[in-house]
Amino acid sequence: MNNQPTGSVRPPEAAPPSIGRPGGGGGPGSRFAPHAKAKDARGTFRKLLKFYFREAKSLFVVLALLLVDTVIVVSGPRFIGYGIDAIGDKGGVNFHWAYIFALILAGVYICDWALNTAQGVIMNAASQRIVRTLRKALFDKLQKLPLTYHDTHTHGELMSRLTNDIENISVTIAQSTTQLVSAAITIVGSFIMMMSLNLYMTLAALITVPLVLLLTKFVAGRSRKMFVGQQAQLGRLNGAIEEAVGGQKIIKAFNMEEKIIDKFKSTNKNLLHYSVRAQIWSGFLMPFMNVITNLGYVCVASVGGILAVKGIITIGTIGSFTSYSRQFTYPLNNIAGMFNNLQSALAGAERVFEILAEAEEPEDVPDAVEIGIPKGEVRFDNVTFAYVPGVNVLKNVSFEVKPGQKVALVGETGAGKTTIVNLLTRFYDATSGTVYIDGIDIKNYKRDSLRRVFSVVLQDTCLFTGTIADNIRYGRPDAKDEEVAEAAQAANADVFIRRLKNGYNTIVKGDSDSLSQGQRQLLAISRAALCRAPILILDEATSSVDTRTELHIQEAILRLTAGCTSFVIAHRLSTIRDADVIMVVKDGEIEESGSHDELIAKNGLYAQMYYSQFEQTE
């Protein structure tokens, strides 16, 4: 450790400044944003303690080392006083005892260094395990939350909590926990030693305590407002960055680069405004703390000088007491300096615990059963559903699909077509009414077994980072290479895959543009073909392909739908003419239902839609 010439064993440690940059530590603003005060700091702290207790053994060892270290540290100033008295002995310098006390002090410093090193190693390892547990708990929770939650929270917000807030907790646990505990123990130990030396000098030293508390409250109250404003501005900045990065093609296509830059400058300037003031206010703390500390030294020295003149104490006692006074005030300074970091960590932890407290997908009913291999009979009985309470997307929908039938859902955008299949797969549960498969309420099936009976191709194709083969076998990880190739051939994807440099081993990334939308959709269809599930759902499966490829996909769909119940959502009505049943959805209700010929003959809404598209192609 670095030693102060005045003889204090533990030098002041400036609290680590709350510095950072957009993008640091896992994402934009990892160190800036959390400087808001937690709404329920006490409750959040209790929840965080539960994660601490999982490392109880390591924390107990750290606490034991801290206690031993404190005992050693607080004994140091005593030997400094003894050494001073030995040098100022009336009979001359007592070199024998001076050397002994110097060696003891050297041993104190060495032991302090060794114990601090051991504490740091153990605490850093324990803190990283705590953070790993917390991060895993949060990620696991995200997988269990219903889609309603994901639909109402942006990806950036969730990622911020998983990265920025967790990282902020990690830094604070690693840096502040041992400092906080050590400071508390050192304050108590130093106070006891000061009381044992002299009561009057102790009272002189304590004059700084209320001043420190008042200063901390005054500065923190004003800096907190600036930190809250800084957080809000940083959120806007993050949003602007996310939009600019994700929309580069549109920005360039419409020559909006300059306006985007101006928008960023404006938001960045506002962030600077709040950040500068937040840092200025928080920066006031330490200089004023130093003034208060020096004021304490003046009081201690003055009282000590008076007592020494009267012969009540020795010069060595004043030296010892000065060191104890430093040991007493520096932890207070450190605690004050850590105030913003601790508030930041609690605010981040609160955001994490907010997610952990969210309601998960409903548990399976107690007597839920495995669905097995269903026949594929589907029935909706007076089903109503609302994403937002009071705003019904589906209204008393009832229909029945026989095993093996191909059902097409058509209608205007937002009519409720995708909602129907979302209820069938239990991505959402009906607000009222019942959905049956093979005559059994789907809520009576185990959720995981229910979803295994579906092959789904969504309108928004999702690929994961990995090889093309891995993406196709996503629903069947144990599928052989031959089966993967057969599925790709069935979806007419094999041709373009083999043209790639590495074929099925080509690496793709979910958010990259290395593949066209049509190619990505073909891979999604290949994934569904490989699953061979008894119920197939195709939500605009041909929306991103050319006319020629669409014909091949229709052939593939005919093969896929043979012998299984299928639901096809399509806007191009020419692709669903062969469906057994076509249901026209309008304003959340089944307006018409029947085969293509029946609906054309009826000359209703479907006929109008069909002829309208036919005329557009003429």
585 bridge partner residues = 411, 590
Q: How many Å apart are CA 525 and CA 496, to the nearest integer? A: 14
Q: Name residues whose C-beta falls within 8 Å of residue 259's C-beta, 6 or more positions apart in sequence.
A: none
Count CA within 13 A, CB hemisphere, residue 552. 18
Residues 6+ apart with CB under 8 A from 38: 44, 343, 346, 347, 349, 350
| Alpha-helix runs per DSSP H in 562-602 | 596-602
* Distance (Å, whole) CA 443 – CA 436: 9
DSSP β-ladder status, 565-569 and 535-539: parallel
Residue 381 has what pLDDT? 94
Mean pLDDT in order along the chain per 10 residues (618 residues): 36 34 34 47 77 82 82 72 65 69 82 84 83 88 84 73 77 71 78 80 79 75 69 71 75 81 88 81 73 78 81 75 75 69 73 84 86 90 90 92 92 88 90 93 90 82 86 87 89 87 85 75 86 85 67 72 84 82 92 92 90 63
> Cα–chain-centroid distance for residue 114?
36
Query: Distance between CA 610 and CA 604 in Å, rounded?
Result: 10
Whole-number pLDDT of residue 42: 73
Quickly list DSSP for 402-461.
-TT-EEEEEESTTSSHHHHHHHHTTSS--SEEEEEETTEEGGGB-HHHHHTTEEEE-SS-
Strand partners for 360: none
Query: CB under 8 Å to 430, separation ≥6 — which residues?
Result: 383, 384, 385, 394, 423
Q: Residue 315: which H helix or E strand, with range?
A: helix 315-337
Residues 6 or more apart in contact with residue 69 via CB below 8 angstroms: 111, 112, 115, 116, 119, 182
How many degrees, rounded to 5, is the angle at CA 81 between CA 75 and CA 86?
125
In contact, 542 and 550? CB cutoff 8 Å: yes
CA dist list (Å): 214 to 210, 219, 285, 289, 298:
6, 9, 11, 11, 20
8 Å CB contact between 432 and 382: yes
How far from each other are the two terminal CA atoms of the chain, in whole angstroms? 86
- Return phi, psi of residue 437, to 5°: -125, 125
| Separation CA 328–CA 194 (nearest Å) | 9
Mention every residue, 6+ apart, whose C-beta is less than 8 A from residue 348. 34, 164, 165, 166, 168, 169
Encoding tokens for residue 330? 């520096």
Residue in this structure with the two tokens 């005992």, named with its chain if needed = 71
CB 37 within 8 A of CB 168: no
Is residue 88 within 8 Å of residue 110, measured between CB atoms? no
The letter for the amino acid at 34 is P
Burial code (b: 16+ CB inside 10 Å, e: under 16) for 485-524 equals: bbbbebbbbbebbeeeeeebebebeeeeeebeebbbbbbb
Q: Which two tokens stand for residue 264?
A: 């960023």
User: What is the token pair recorded at 398?
Assistant: 């009832």
Asked if 9 and 196 count as a contact pair (C-beta separation under 8 A), the reply is: no
Nearest to 7 by CA among 297, 264, 215, 290: 297
Helix (H) or strand (E) holding 512: none
Query: Is the backbone of residue 590 left (phi > 0), alpha (psi -120 to 50) or beta?
Result: beta
* Residue 522 to residue 559: CA distance in whole angstroms: 15
3-state SS string over 142-204? Answer: HHHCCHHHHHCCCHHHHHHHHHHHHHHHHHHHHHHHHHHHHHHHHHHHHHHHHHHHCHHHHHH
Q: Looking at residue 21, what is its pLDDT?
A: 31
- Residues 285, 299 contacting (CB under 8 angstroms): no
pLDDT, position 324: 74
Beta-bridge mates of residue 432 = 384
Supply the Cα-derived Rg of the chain in whole angstroms.
Answer: 35
DSSP 24: T
User: How many Å apart are CA 514 and CA 428, to the nearest integer?
Assistant: 33
Measured distance CA(580)–CA(584) in Å, rounded? 13
Task: Rounding to the nearest 10 degrees, give the CA dihedral for residues 360, 365, 369, 371.
Answer: -50
Name the strand (E) or helix (H) holding 382.
Answer: strand 378-385
Per 3-state DSSP, what percentage of the chain is helix, strand, and coil (rounded to 5)? 65, 10, 25
Residue 401, strand partner residues: 378
**Per-residue pLDDT, 614:** 64
Q: Using CB atoms within 10 A of its CB, is residue 351 exposed (0-12), middle (13-18) or buried (19+)?
A: buried
Q: Which amino acid is at 82?
A: Y
Residue 409, φ and ψ in degrees, nearest 5: -110, 120
